[in-house]
Structure 1
């Protein structure tokens, strides 16, 4: 058995039957040939996965590295291996004068995980910079490329969560960044900055994230546990009858996004502890390992939050974090 405590940021003291490191695309054929018919789980930096109990299969640790840069008169073109750190990539783009990623600073995880979740923050989503994605088709043992238009990107969503779920392994992501990319500062607190440079946006985002979110190196967590729900105007009006100041952001003519943290906060979950797992006292969207937490406690707390939000607001929260049980993903 292989200890997983240091391989996922929530830090539960769990184990896997086996672990293999993926260091080259050439390793993929042999790895999946050996794993045929067995349970496996692909892991990057472990910031969006929580191992609730011992995993009976093999963990594949993504160590694919490499960044290639090309440019034209109007664009930078980056081909980035899926095992690269996302935040380090953001720093790298700033260093070469390629701007646009700065709003996504300090988001944990690897480059390969970014398009699966379609990570986003402060008015920017990663999909707007993605041109193509290269992946390994596990069943057919072939390397493929998918165009942006076929990725079905949406809020925290993509084809990799649906039609291609557990069927492919992303090997690299190809980005196209316009050289005249405008600074995005429409969201607070970035909108308080006066004519900011991309570096100032980068620094402000880091400052805010460090103020709001606990450091997983100090207090085990996996960032935002739930997605911000998108609801109909009918649901919004129903909530406004009781909470006239409910925060919301218009998504379409008939739908809005409501912060999940606000919903959870209204129900008094801040600081609540279940078997060593706590709803963070400053940011209720983050569940943390108090040091002696376990998977059972996490499920108890998360399910209670989900149930109470459903009962109070008629909104079904969806977990953003992936929950891994003995043989694979667990439904909350």
Structure 2
């Protein structure tokens, strides 16, 4: 009997089997017990993921837990199980007066996804705090420690070389004791860097996210659907002449990052709906399951958004959400 796949979009999608594991040994056992050689996929909470159809294999839900904190004169060192909820980790550090993760509050998903996706928000990306990632080689049970994640914008080596045959089991995080607040985005700019605390930033980020972003438990969604596009500065400057209020974020190498949510909003797409899927009325970057949406409703909506933004701005949006087909991850750009 097929089992429903947990996913924050709240889509009704099924797999041949769904197994929850709480240890590396159990994870490897499930992998090795796959006598039929069915496709296998490991997930955390099923956030940042769109199952485009039923999955023809086994879904392993990683619930390897544990938070160990040690310190040196220079830094705090955290070893965190991949199955811990990311926001719970951030909350724990704030309660223990350990700054450094406050900008990343309320990002949905599990800790194991953080290095894979190089999660980021409010001017901070995971790579800033990354120390190491422990991977389980599923065929052998060998544990590999990777210290260079080759991080990019929502990219890492774990999306490529280590996607097949490996699983993240622990994540190492290093938080320097010489803390410098990051106040480069949005309302955080209003803080005085001389007196601001990590708790103040944490509280503000939570307040902003709660006001703009829907709770997946209430309104199914996968988080930010599209990446913020990074384009050539010359192209961005030409767009600025037409749209002087357009938010821009200068990058290295003569590149400029644009706000995908703003571009979608300018196309008049807030609350736009196809089938049961809709653009969220307060944050255009989030697509929601408004009324028993199917995966194809979400896909068609994303296609429409991509087409509208391309026509209006000549800017190509690329999904941040990972698309999963019947046997594994598929190229989201090509699918749209």
> Fold-level match, TM-score > 0.5?
yes
CA contact (8 A) 2:38 2:56 kept: no
Residue in 1 aligned with 2:165? 167
Q: C-alpha distance in 1, partners of 2:201/2:184?
A: 11
- Which residue does 2:22 correspond to in 1? 23
Q: Which residue of 1 aligns with 2:237?
A: 237
1:43 matches 2:5: no
* Residues 260-269 or 137-146, more deviating: 137-146
In structure 2, what is the equivalent of residue 13 of structure 1? 12
Summarize the alignment of residues 1-332 of structure 1 with structure 2, pairs less than 5 Å apart: 1-4=2-5, 7-35=6-34, 37-147=37-147, 150-194=148-192, 195-330=195-330, 331=332, 332=335
Aligned pair count reads 328
Structure 2 counterpart SS, 1:174? strand
Specify the SS of the correspondent of 1:299: helix
2:28 touches 2:139 (CA, 8 Å); kept in 1?
Answer: no
**Partners of 1:50 and 1:89 in 2: how far apart?**
25
1:202-244 per-position Cα deviation (integer Å, ceiling 9, x unaligned): 1000000001111111111111100101100132133234323
Offset at residue 167 of structure 1 (A): 3.4
Q: Which runs of 5+ in 2 are unaligned?
A: none
The offset of 1:68, in angstroms, is: 1.3
Counterpart Cα distance in 2 of 1:202 and 1:116: 23
| TM-score (norm: length of structure 2) | 0.93
The answer to whether the 8 A contact 1:261-1:283 is kept is yes
C-alpha distance in structure 2 between counterparts of 1:97 and 1:244, whole Å: 41
Comparing 191-200 and 114-123, the one that deviates more:
191-200
The Cα of 1:258 is off from its aligned counterpart by 0.1
1:118–1:127: 8 Å Cα contact kept in structure 2? yes
Aligned counterparts of 1:166 and 1:212: Cα–Cα separation in 2? 35
Question: Is the CA contact (8 Å cut-off) linking 1:220 and 1:291 kept in structure 2?
Answer: no
Is the 8 Å Cα contact of residues 12 and 52 (structure 1) preserved in structure 2? Answer: no
Distance 2:163 2:53 in 1: 22
- Structure 1's unaligned 5+ residue stretches are none
Residues 41 and 60, structure 2, Cα contact 8 Å, conserved in 1: yes
How big is the alpha-carbon RMSD for the aligned residues of Structure 1 and Structure 2? 1.5
CA contact (8 A) 2:32 2:139 kept: no
